[in-house]
Every structure is written in C-alpha cells, then in structure tokens.
Amino acid sequence: MQLTHPDTIAAITKKWRGKRDANNRPMVADRLLERMQSVTIEEAWHVLTEHDYHHNFAGDWTVLFPDQVLVGRAVTCRWVPIRPELHQAIVEQGEREGRIGFPNSWVIDEMVDGDVLVADLFGAVNLVGDNLTTAIKANGGRGMVIDGGLRDLRRIKQIPDFCTYVKRIHPEAIPGVTMPDINGITRIGPATCIPGDVVLGTEAGIIFIPPHLAAKVIKFSETCAH
C-alpha cells in the first residue's frame, strides 16, 4: 500500500519538462508564481479552454480574504468516510513511512514554500483548525482550498498573508474520515486538481492551471494588460 504514487504523477504530468520534487510533483518556478498574481480567472480560463481543459474551475466558496489573490503549487489530499479496516491500513502505512500524528498532519508535512493545500472532504467535513493552519503557514504554505470546512475561524483570520477557501465553518474537530491519498488526483467540486497544478484564487473562485500551461497563461495575461 502507498499513500503517494510518484509514477502516477509522472505519467499524468509528462508534458511538464521542469523541476520536480521527490514524489515527481511538478515545481513551477517561484518567478512564474509571482507573475501569476496579476492573472485573472477569465484570462486563465481562456487559455485552458483553448487547450481543451474545461473542468478546472470551482466557484461558490466562503473566502476569508476575498481582496487577496491566492497563487501556489497544489499539494492534494483526498478523504473518504471512515471504515475501520481501511483506516487501520492507512495508519500502519503511515507508521512504516515514519509519519507522525493524525493523517491531516501528514499532508502538511509534505508542503514547502509556495504550496497550497487542496483537500477533498466532499463538502461536508472539517480538515483543520488554527494549530494545523499555523503549521501550514510555517512550512511556507500560501493558503488552503478545502472542499469541506474548518474551525477556529477567528484565530485563522489573524494569520497574515494566508488565503483560505472553504465550503463551511463549524466548531467540530475532524470527524469520521480517513485519507487514502496524498498528492493524488483530487476532485474539487466540478474541477479536477492534479498535484503541482498552479492554484489561482480570486474572489471569483479557484482555477487549477496545469504546470505546462502556466507560462502560456501568464504570457496571455501580460499581452492583454498591454
């Protein structure tokens, strides 16, 4: 059993010719992420649809800082309702890999500077509170896109320069779920996110930009601006 699947990531993202991390996740350069800050959702959508990507946008979020732009590389995780034998197998695999704590901390340990946490909790379950959000920020995370919820809203809003998109806010801790995938193919509402996608978030919503198209999106946007 594996929690991450480097060969799968490499096969899906074979159009990417740049740097990768240890698990084959594409690592779009920081200089491109910085330039992506000026791109609009509509400009990115135009380029993606021209290349036959029609399922990369997700809207209707609760956005904690709608005036800020979220840009970063996707680190993904997928959650499912818990079954005892499944959860036990996941915990045992985590122990073999030297992972510490509950699975929602494992994915945070994968994050580096410039990353965005992208999590599928089927729109209904909390993932983090203020402690784990602080850990994401400490690892260099730029923000979170959670198709689910969070708790400790007031304290999370005190974390500077950290954009958050969620579907619900609720005081409960993470209940009744387990995580079979880290950095796998992840559904976020009507969109599909692949590890290493450039996450672009504005008040309009979230769009997942394939890494091999990031430079094309930026070039198109900068041409429009002039």
Q: State the Cα–Cα distance between residues 201 and 111, nearest whole angstrom.
A: 18
160 membership: H or E segment, kind and range = none
> Of 107, 100, 94, which Cα lies nearest the Cα of 141?
107
Q: Which residues contact 167 (CB under 8 A, 6 or more apart)?
A: 61, 62, 123, 124, 146, 147, 148, 149
Give domain status of residue 137, yes or no.
Answer: yes
Angle among Cα 68, 72, 74 to the nearest 5 degrees reads 130
* 3-class state of residue 166 by DSSP: strand
In a domain, 171, yes or no: yes
Q: Are the beta carbons of 87 and 116 closer than 8 angstroms?
A: no
Q: Of 111, 105, 74, which Cα lies nearest the Cα of 207? A: 74
Give the pair of three-digit tokens for residue 197.
């996608």
Could you list the pLDDT tens digit for every one of the 226 residues in the chain? 889 999 999 999 999 999 999 999 999 999 999 999 999 999 999 999 999 999 999 999 999 999 999 999 999 999 999 999 999 999 999 999 999 998 999 999 999 999 999 999 998 889 999 999 999 999 999 999 999 999 999 999 999 999 999 999 999 988 799 999 999 999 999 999 999 999 999 999 999 999 999 999 999 999 997 6
Q: Give Dmax (Cα) for the chain.
A: 58
In a domain, 58, yes or no: yes
Query: What pLDDT is attached to residue 135?
Result: 96
Residue 1 lies in a domain: no
Measured CA to CA, the distance from residue 94 to residue 99 in angstroms comes to: 5
CA atoms within 13 A on the CB side of 137: 16
Q: Do the domain assignments include residue 35? A: yes
Q: Which helix (H) or strand (E) holds 175?
A: none
- The CA-CA-CA angle for residues 211, 120, 70, to 5°, reads 50
* 53: phi then psi, degrees, rounded to nearest 5: -100, 105
Looking up residue 182, the CATH number of its domain turns out to be 3.50.30.40
pLDDT of residue 124: 82
**Cα separation of 166 and 119, whole Å?**
10
Domains identified in the chain, total number:
1
Which residues are CB-contacts of 216 (< 8 A; sequence separation ≥ 6)? 47, 51
CA–CA dist 226, 111 (Å, integer)? 35
pLDDT of residue 226: 66
Q: What is the pLDDT of residue 114?
A: 98
Domain that holds residue 122: 6-225
Q: How many CB atoms lie within 10 A of CB 128?
A: 27
